[in-house]
Amino acid sequence: MTVIEAVNLSKYYEPPRKGVFGWSQILKEIRGPQQTLLALKNVDLKIEKGKLFGLLGPNGAGKTTFCKIMNALVIPTEGHLYINGLDSIKHHSTIAAQMVTIFAGDIDIWNVFTRRLTVEKNLAFMGKLWQVPDDKLSERIDYTIETMQLQDKRNDWYQKLSAGLKQRVYLGLALVVQPSIVVLDEPTIHLDVPSKRVIHDIIREELCKKMGCTVLLATHNMEEAEKLCDQVAILNRGEIRVVDKPDNIKKYFKVLDTLEVKLSGINPTLLEKLDEIPCIKRAQVLKGPTTILRLYFNQKEEYIAEIIDCIVKNAEIQDLQLKEPTFEDVFLSVLEGDNHEKH
């Protein structure tokens, strides 16, 4: 069952105003919106119920705009975004009752929580806005505080918390409300490694497994997307480049393997001989205290023995390292639109 569906979704923003008041621009806007800055372009996307879906892209790719359209904070230029079959702009209140969005990247810009109130009172207030019944509210706050490891911060004013703890409180909102859809925009952006692990566990164990939520994770952290997501969409310059499981995406894109060899006693014809091997796309010799040969190639299984044999015959190997492409390599390769072919 499709929970979130984007149909030909595009968003162009207005250019920033120039001048002190920008009166000339205001006059132009009155005549008609000036929308020129691309944020999303013809995005078609389906997210199935109960899936943890990653929206992966660099800064400015359009991830936050997508999340804001889900919350009716931004109106799209073209197309529609449906949540449980309802248009996200027209049925905002109905959708909001089933969805919690954590704009963690904007935590310092938007005062979601009241600074001079305790963590407990803040969570209780937000729970009431989401219509959590009174008989369940205190129980859920206890559960959230324990799960988020905030026991000793329960009665502390929100403003006294560190950035990481504030983010935990913000994420705790999803546990208090227990909605069917959770949107996480850069949920671990301000966190250290142990806190990130806590959040990853909570996303996987609590939100996905226990509560059965559909989770949209917008992030630029490839490791996070690869580790957590059932499915990932790579978004670049407002366009979806690929949607699949992280493992499939690795296979999808022919990202080259790298072989790095420390050599001595090199035969001058080594590079010519390596050129004859069809899988080698690029060969580099880096000269320094030790000579390093770096080869970029594909079809590893078929040609690796031939490559090593060629090197052994034409030089003396001191050290050898084979680097397999990571999800990060795939991601960067997609972003750069480099010379790697698509299957």
Partner 1 sequence: MSFYLCWKVITTRSISQPLRVMAAFLKLNRDLFFSWRAESVMQILQILINVTLLGIFARLVTLDANIEQYGTSTFLDFFLIGQVVNIMVTLPSGSVSGILSGSSFPGLFVTPTRVGLIFLGVNTWIVTWRLLTNFAFISVAIFFFDMTFHLNFGVLVVFFFSILLMIALDLFAAGFIVFTKSRQDPINWFLRMSATLVSGTYFPPENLPSWLYPISKIHPQTYILKLARLTIGGGQTLSEVWPNLVSLIITSLIMFVVGYTMYKYGFKRARLAGTLGHM
| Between 86 and 283, CB nearer to partner 1 | 86
The reply on whether position 38 binds partner 1 by CB under 8 A is no
Give the Cα separation of 29 and 284 in Å (integer): 54
Is 31 a residue that touches partner 1 (CB under 8 A)?
no
For residue 316, what are its two tokens? 């003396």
Which one, of 273, 323, 279, 283, lies nearest residue 303 by Cα?
A: 279
* 163 near partner 1, rule: CB under 8 A: no
To the nearest 10°, report the CA torsion of 33, 38, 44, 47: -100
Q: Interface with partner 1 by CB under 8 A: which range of 122-130, 143-151, 237-245, 281-289?
A: 122-130
Directed axis angle between helix 163-177 and helix 193-201, to 10°? 0
| Shortest distance, position 129 Cβ to partner 1, whole Å | 4
Query: CA nearest 231: which of 252, 216, 213?
Result: 216
State the minimum distance, in angstroms, from the CB of residue 96 to partner 1: 4
C-alpha span between 122 and 201 (Å, rounded): 24
Nearer of residues 131 and 269 to partner 1, judged by Cβ: 131
116 binds partner 1 (CB under 8 A): yes
Residue closer to partner 1 (CB basis): 101 or 147: 101
Binding positions for partner 1, 167-226, rule CB under 8 A: none
**Beta-strand relationship, 291-297 and 257-264:** antiparallel
Q: Which residues pair with 13 in a beta bridge?
A: 37
Least distance to partner 1, CB of residue 44, Å: 21
Q: Which listed residue (8, 90, 97, 286) binds partner 1 by CB under 8 A? A: 97
Min. distance of Cβ 73 from partner 1 in angstroms?
6
129 binds partner 1 (CB under 8 A): yes
Sign of CA dihedral 333, 334, 337, 339: positive
CB of 212 to partner 1, least distance (A): 20
Residue closer to partner 1, measured from CB, 165 or 307 = 165
Out of 9, 55, 96, 293, the only residue in the binding site for partner 1 (CB under 8 A) is 96
The answer to the question of residue 65 lying near partner 1 (CB under 8 A) is yes
Residue 136 interacts with partner 1 (CB under 8 A)?
no
Please state, in angstroms and rounded to a whole number, the distance separating the CA atoms of residues 32 and 18: 17
Q: Which helix (H) or strand (E) holds 144?
A: helix 134-147
d(CA 242, CA 67): 18
Contact of 12 with 36, CB cutoff 8 Å: yes
The smaller minimum CB distance to partner 1, of residues 101 and 221, is found at 101
**Binding piece for partner 1, criterion CB under 8 A, among 114-122, 190-198, 295-303, 333-341:** 114-122
Binding partner 1 (rule: CB under 8 A), the pick from 3, 47, 52, 74 is: 74
Backbone angles phi, psi at 116, to 5 degrees: -95, 30
| Shortest separation between residue 185's beta carbon and partner 1, angstroms | 11
Residues 7-26 that bind partner 1 (CB under 8 A): 11, 13-14, 17, 26
Give dist(CA 6, CA 55) in Å, integer. Answer: 13
| DSSP label of 161 | S
Decide: is 131 part of the binding site for partner 1 (CB under 8 A): yes
Number of Cβ within a 10 Å radius of residue 11: 23
Residue 22 or 194: the one with the smaller Cβ distance to partner 1 is: 22
* Residue 253 DSSP class: B
Q: What one-character DSSP code corresponds to residue 342? A: B
The residues that touch partner 1, with contacts defined as CB under 8 A, are 11, 13-14, 17, 26, 29, 33, 35, 39, 65, 68, 71-75, 93-94, 96-97, 101, 103, 106, 109-114, 116-117, 121, 124-126, 128-131, 157
